[in-house]
């Protein structure tokens, strides 16, 4: 069984092997643990009923033969697409989005964190399990930025000695919204949540201009709804916002210790706000 480190130095190709069982005579493309340059993976002898494992296998064909959208294509569709929704498969981004989410997000990738979550839910008999969170996909394309991935795992959890065996299917849904080429709508949403910002901006400008520390009277009463409406109108720029969606599935299989204190797969956020 292969165990990868949980930090940002681990290459995605090695994260994909984490928690998987390999025959020594048939290693993965990255070779045996420690063979690849700077590899810090560990080889753990697998003993059925005593060794933990957990991994996802993609069940969706994410390959694409369509032309891969660049940032200019997102902008072009904003102006000429009349708000028509597009899919990740349609724009050639599904495979990259899945890889970014599964193996490149933060220190260990979302698949590894989801394995921890499913392990603890299975221990508690709390399946199926629904999940949802925002993720940064700017590394795939600047036009994506932050997007939401939500989904559900449906499967079984069976006790066997000291272990819990888990097996089932996770279904994922991606949703993003391309609003405008210069992000004014995002700015208006930000402003709506922070109505004190225009006043602070005036203070800073005044200070830079050498007028004391800026305006000293009581803060202006700013109607953030009016300001946001102005930015919304400007952001149209002759185009129409549109939604980007995508779906994929992955089979999950695991065997984890019932006692989470012995496990490599405890959810560190369990019980946290």
pLDDT of residue 98: 98
- Does 212 score more than 50 pLDDT? no
Residue showing tokens 């994410």: 62
Strand residues in 36-87 grouped as ranges (E): 42-43, 53-58, 86-87
For 53-180+238-262, CATH number out of 3.90.320, 3.30.70, 3.30.450, 1.10.12 equals: 3.30.450
- Does 191 score more than 60 pLDDT? no
Share of the chain above pLDDT 90, in %: 50
Q: Which residue has the higher pLDDT, 241 or 121?
A: 121
- Domain extents for the chain? 1-46, 53-180+238-262, 184-236
The Cα–Cα gap between 224 and 192 comes to 5
pLDDT of residue 101: 97
The Cα–Cα gap between 266 and 112 comes to 11
User: Tokens representing 50?
Assistant: 């005593």
pLDDT of residue 242: 94
The Cα–Cα gap between 120 and 105 comes to 21
pLDDT, mean over the chain: 82
Q: Which residue has the higher pLDDT, 238 or 245?
A: 245
- Does 142 score more than 90 pLDDT? no
Q: What H or E segment, with its residue span, contains residue 175?
A: strand 163-178
At residue 187 the predicted structure's pLDDT band, cuts being 50, 70 and 90, is: low
- This prediction has a pTM of 0.78
At residue 215 the predicted structure's pLDDT band, cuts being 50, 70 and 90, is: very low
CA angle 118/130/97 to nearest 5° reads 85
Rg (C-alpha) for the chain, rounded Å, is 24
Burial 17-55 (b: 16+ CB within 10 A, else e): bbbbeeeeeeebebeebeebeebebeebeeeeeeebbbb
Please check whether residue 98 is in contact with residue 171, taking contact to mean a CB–CB distance below 8 angstroms: no
Nearest C-alpha neighbor of 140 from the set 249, 244, 5, 17? 244
Average pLDDT score over residue span 24-49: 85
- Does 272 score more than 70 pLDDT? no
Q: What is the largest CA-CA distance in the chain?
A: 77
Share of the chain above pLDDT 70, in %: 76
Please check whether residue 51 is in contact with residue 1, taking contact to mean a CB–CB distance below 8 angstroms: yes
pLDDT tens digits, one per residue of 218-238? 554 545 555 555 555 555 566
Q: Which residue has the higher pLDDT, 189 or 163?
A: 163
């Amino acid at each position: 069984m292969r165990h990868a480190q949980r930090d940002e130095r681990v290459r995605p190709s090695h994260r994909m092997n984490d928690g998987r069982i390999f025959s020594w005579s048939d290693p993965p493309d990255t070779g045996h643990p420690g063979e690849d340059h700077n590899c810090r993976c560990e080889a753990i002898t697998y003993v059925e009923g005593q060794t933990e494992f957990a991994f996802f296998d993609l069940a969706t064909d994410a390959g694409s033969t369509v032309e891969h959208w660049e940032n200019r294509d997102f902008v072009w569709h904003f102006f000429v697409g009349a708000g028509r929704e597009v899919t990740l498969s349609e724009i050639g981004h599904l495979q990259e989005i899945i890889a970014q989410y599964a193996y490149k997000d933060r220190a260990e990738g979302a698949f590894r964190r989801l394995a921890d979550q499913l392990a603890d839910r299975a221990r508690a008999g709390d399946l199926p399990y629904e999940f949802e969170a925002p993720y940064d996909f700017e590394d795939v394309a600047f036009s994506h930025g932050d997007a939401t991935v939500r989904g559900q795992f449906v499967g079984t959890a069976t006790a066997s000695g000291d272990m819990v065996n888990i097996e089932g299917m996770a279904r994922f849904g991606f949703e993003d919204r391309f609003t405008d080429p210069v992000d004014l709508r995002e700015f208006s949403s930000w402003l709506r949540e922070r109505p004190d910002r225009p006043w602070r901006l005036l203070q800073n400008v005044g200070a830079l201009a050498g007028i004391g520390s800026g305006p000293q009277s009581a803060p202006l009463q700013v109607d953030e709804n009016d300001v946001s409406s102005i930015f919304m109108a400007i952001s149209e720029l002759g185009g129409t916002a549109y939604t980007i969606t995508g779906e994929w599935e992955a089979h999950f299989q695991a065997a984890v210790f019932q006692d989470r204190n012995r496990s490599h797969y405890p959810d560190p956020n369990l019980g946290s706000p």
